[in-house]
Amino acid sequence: MRADPKGVLTGDHYLDGDQACAEGALAAGCRFFAGYPITPSTEIAERFAERIPEAAGVFVQMEDELASMAAVLGAAWGGKKAMTVTSGPGFSLMMENIGLGVMMEVPCVVANVQRGGPSTGLPTLPGQADMMQARWGSHGDYEIIALSPNSPQECFDLVIEAFNLSEQYRVPVMFMMDECVGHLTEKVSIPRPESIEIVDRKWYRGRKENYLPYAVNGDLVPAMVKAGDGYRFHATGLTHDERGYPSTTWQTQEKCVHRLVNKIRQNAENIIKVEKDNVDDADVLVVSYGISSRVAVPAIQQARQQGIRVGHLRLITVWPFPEKMIRELAGRVKAFVMPEINYGQMVFEVERCAAGKAETYLVPHGGGWVHDPKNILQVIEAAAA
Amino acid sequence: MSQLTHPMESILRMNRMPHIWCPGCGIGTAMTALAEALNKTQIPLDKVAVVSGIGCTGRVAGYVKLDSFHTTHGRAIPFATGLKLANPELKVVVFSGDGDLVAIGGNHFIHAARRNMDIAVFCVNNFTYGMTGGQLAPTTPPPATSTTTPYGAYEQPFNLAHLADSAGASYVARWTVLHIRRLTKSMTEALQKKGFSFVEIICPCPTLYGRRNRIGDGLQEMQFYRDNCIIQHGADTRTIDIKFRDKIVIGKFVDRERPTFLDALNSRLLEALGNRYEPYGKVTENADRN
């Protein structure tokens, strides 16, 4: 399916990551936006509010982030592609309804322009410390999809991918930006609508009387309907059977949660995207995402000039984690080096998958700024020694 | 010979009966009033969606044979807001309890009323948290006891009708489950009203509120309503607080015209953008009732 031209601002633009994210969402077909102002994500909402009237959609500024997330879920059941954006404390407030989105299997996108934390932290400055919250922040057992762009162009391209994945797997997709990527201004080329690939909702097309909201075959993703089409369906946050009816047996729980987890795990290889640079001959592999992937580049270049065989693996998909790839690489490289603007989050995933076959080094940063490439270089040197 | 069917079968999920509510509880009566009101309005049932939060009343969404959503605690109204704005041809009904709508969800309640979001909110007020075992609610009148106010309540409760009125609701009424015909009529009006309409439904909870507060069983509480309710349409909502074991003023208090959220949005954008703007969410009236 091709993009609706109403949302596509074809041409070359000079945009920051936040604006590019809003343009990407419009190009992806997002026609409902509910949000609450919070730095440094507000510009996404502002751009959307300005652009949506002429793209046949609706913007609503809600009273808080709990309401924003709830409204997004309602809008998706109303048949729209929907998103909300937030940062820091707002992401915490969205967690409960992200869980409802997982349980009801609601396609939607939540962008988090990460800032320094915990609590109010550093509202105007970068952090990358919500990566584990994106994965585990709502209660109960589930799997999620999270993507991490590193440029305004990628904010545009990848948020389209986020919408596509959310429709394909019926799961809220976390779009994990950071303040630097959000406020970085660069050239963004927006293609013509006919060259933008859009995944439509997996609409149910069978007979009305046979419709079971949570019945699946094959890919573990149930077909969806929208309110108002005469299916008279029920959806709940309670553990439910194929009819969508609540049930308190452990057998129903097993069936329900197992599928929520497995629809992502079984498709992990189809979801995961990474960018590789000089990986094949690497002794040391820098693993990075978001703005840290750009700060790592001068450190990597300098290390190679010094004769260290260092490669770069950039995570575009952070959840599901590229577990299989890291396991394989751990048998080939001597060490992994991971710069993150936190005191260790994704690095623990790398360490877990390396399983002792390669050393794992974190280059930590408390937030509020990006790494000095020299610090990354020092760790690469130590890892290579 | 034709088979006997329940008169509400077209609206209730009979395969989910029996329901979870206790003997003497009034939520079932309130749900029946909704079903009856929907029948009366002739709104196409395929275009009706019911959204509930959490609690005893929150289970209503699971029993109605309509598009229905059982959401998170307190968030039925913002969920309904998203649903309505995404698909404006829907008649969106929020059916939930007092704790859900005005304690944990209180902020959403006032903001939806302020925006005049075009939804009908039916709030069963039983003065307590039933599902969790009878704790203090934002409506519990002092000095009623609850499990978390074992020596009697001392906080001032909300006057829900006044809250809705002052926040800007287009329609505000209060009835009890004893006044079933008037309640049903009021729900019919609320369903047909454009904008934020609110009906408070006073309801016995004999298991957790009535017994603990020596009101007695469900029947005795209904007798209490019969003896103590005063119908006073158009009453000033500031004067109709509900006190412990005292008179209850019921009736239709507010019925006024205000632009809905979408009306206001469309007129503003038309003024600002002219013919570059196509009004959002034009409702088509071609759906058949089934």
- Across the interface, whether the CB atoms of A236 and B79 are under 8 A apart is answered no
Which residues, other chains included, contact B193 with Cβ-Cβ below 8 Å and sequence gap of 6+?
A: B120, B170, B171, B255
pLDDT tens profile A270-297 = 999 999 999 999 999 999 999 999 999 9
Distance (Å, whole) CA B265 – CA B80: 18
CA dihedral A262, A264, A267, A268 (to 10 degrees): -120
Percent of chain A surpassing pLDDT 70 = 100
pLDDT tens profile A351-368 = 999 999 999 999 999 999
**A44 plus A133 within the same structural domain:** yes
Closest C-alpha among B30, B65, B61 to residue B190: B30
CATH number at residue A160: 3.40.50.970
Q: What is the mean pLDDT of chain A?
A: 97
Domain total of chain B: 1
Please tell me if residue A139 touches chain B, with a CB cutoff of 8 Å.
no
**A189 plus A283 within the same structural domain:** no
Edge-to-edge strand list for the sheet holding B171-176: A234-236, B67-70, B48-52, B91-97, B120-125, B197-202, B171-176, B248-255, B229-231
Please tell me if residue A373 touches chain B, with a CB cutoff of 8 Å.
no
Chain B nearest-CA distance from A40, in A, is: 24
**A302 plus A160 within the same structural domain:** no
Is A325 within a domain?
yes
CB A106 within 8 A of CB A172: yes
Percent of chain A surpassing pLDDT 90 = 99
When pLDDT is averaged across residues A18-46 and rounded to a whole number, the result is 98
pLDDT tens profile A300-318 = 999 999 999 999 999 999 9
The residue segments making up the domain with residue A54 are: 5-195
Is A248 within a domain?
no
Q: Which segments of chain B have a pLDDT < 50? A: 284-290
Chain B nearest-CA distance from A87, in A, is: 20
- Across the interface, whether the CB atoms of B83 and A74 are under 8 A apart is answered yes
3-state secondary structure B14-55: HHHCCCCCCCCCCHHHHHHHHHHHHHHHCCCHHHEEEEECCC
- Across the interface, whether the CB atoms of B75 and A32 are under 8 A apart is answered no
pLDDT tens profile B27-76 = 999 999 999 999 999 999 999 999 999 999 999 999 999 999 999 999 99
Which candidate in B65, B71, B119, B268 is best for mutational testing of the A interface (most A CBs within 10 A)? B71
Is A232 within a domain?
no
- Across the interface, whether the CB atoms of B87 and A228 are under 8 A apart is answered yes
CATH number at residue B50: 3.40.50.970
Is A112 within a domain?
yes
Domain limit, last residue, from A195, A230, A263: A195
The residue segments making up the domain with residue B202 are: 14-259
pLDDT score for B1: 54
CA angle B128, A247, A201 (to 5 degrees): 105
- Across the interface, whether the CB atoms of A75 and B82 are under 8 A apart is answered yes
pLDDT tens profile A188-233 = 999 999 999 999 999 999 999 999 999 998 789 999 999 999 999 9
Is B34 within a domain?
yes
pLDDT tens profile A124-180 = 999 999 999 999 999 999 999 999 999 999 999 999 999 999 999 999 999 999 999
Strands (E), A66-195: 81-86, 108-116, 122-126, 145-147, 172-178, 185-190
Chain A nearest-CA distance from B70, in A, is: 4
- Across the interface, whether the CB atoms of B68 and A228 are under 8 A apart is answered no
**A29 plus A134 within the same structural domain:** yes
Q: Extract the tokens encoding A210.
A: 């046979």
When pLDDT is averaged across residues A232-258 and rounded to a whole number, the result is 97
Between residues A378 and B3, which one has the greater pLDDT?
A378
**A173 plus A309 within the same structural domain:** no
Is B65 within a domain?
yes
Is B63 within a domain?
yes
Which candidate in B15, B56, B75, B196 is best for mutational testing of the A interface (most A CBs within 10 A)? B75
pLDDT at residue A5 tops 70: yes
Domain limit, last residue, from A176, A195, A214: A195
- Across the interface, whether the CB atoms of B81 and A80 are under 8 A apart is answered no
**A179 plus A300 within the same structural domain:** no
Distance (Å, whole) CA B266 – CA B270: 6
pLDDT score for B5: 83
pLDDT score for B18: 93
CB A196 within 8 A of CB A133: no
With tokens 């809250």, the residue in question is B163
Please tell me if residue A271 touches chain B, with a CB cutoff of 8 Å.
no
pLDDT score for B283: 56
CATH number at residue A302: 3.40.50.920
The DSSP result for A158-221, as a single string, is HHHHHHHHHHHHTSEEEEEEEHHHHH-EEEEEE--GGGSB-PPP-B--S-GGG--TT---SSS-
Distance (Å, whole) CA B230 – CA B32: 23
Q: What is the mean pLDDT of chain B?
A: 95
Please tell me if residue B263 touches chain A, with a CB cutoff of 8 Å.
no
Domain limit, last residue, from A195, A230, A251: A195
pLDDT tens profile A88-139 = 999 999 999 999 999 999 999 999 999 999 999 999 999 999 999 999 999 9
Domain total of chain A: 2
Distance (Å, whole) CA A143 – CA A130: 16
- Across the interface, whether the CB atoms of A78 and B82 are under 8 A apart is answered yes
Please tell me if residue A58 touches chain B, with a CB cutoff of 8 Å.
yes
CA dihedral B275, B280, B281, B283 (to 10 degrees): -20
**Complex ipTM value:** 0.97
Q: In which element (H, E) is residue B243 found?
A: none
Distance (Å, whole) CA B94 – CA B77: 7
- Across the interface, whether the CB atoms of B273 and A54 are under 8 A apart is answered yes
